[in-house]
Amino acid sequence: MDINKILGQVAEADGVSIEEIKKEMQAAISAAYQNPSDDGGRTAARQKEVPCRGEIPTPEEFIRYAAWKLKKHMASETTHKEYS
């Protein structure tokens, strides 16, 4: 997966730079990590699942994890449908 290619497509569609996309994504990720939902710790627990070098994932780390989770979920759904 070429994350910069994906970010480039998003940036082009929005008429901004890749750096602007990364900046906005990082702001959203940081806000979510610094102000978790009041849901009894479920959100914080999910956030801890995201592998990252620091306390808060970078956009690239978050995208890699989200893509892996989606791929895993889609494989599970496909398997489930085959046996239904």
Better-predicted residue by pLDDT, 45 or 77: 45
Distance (Å, whole) CA 60 – CA 82: 33
Domain around 48: 3-82
Better-predicted residue by pLDDT, 80 or 5: 5
Q: What is the pLDDT of residues 21-76, one digit of tens each?
A: 999 999 999 999 999 889 999 999 999 999 999 999 999 999 999 999 999 989 98
Burial code of 38-76, b = ≥16 C-beta within 10 A, e = fewer? Answer: eeeeeeeeebeebebeeebbebebbbbeeeeeeeeeeee
Stretch 9-22: mean pLDDT, rounded? 97
Count of domains in the chain?
A: 1
* Residue in the block written with tokens 């997966």: 1
SS3 content of the chain, % helix, strand, coil (to 5): 75, 0, 25
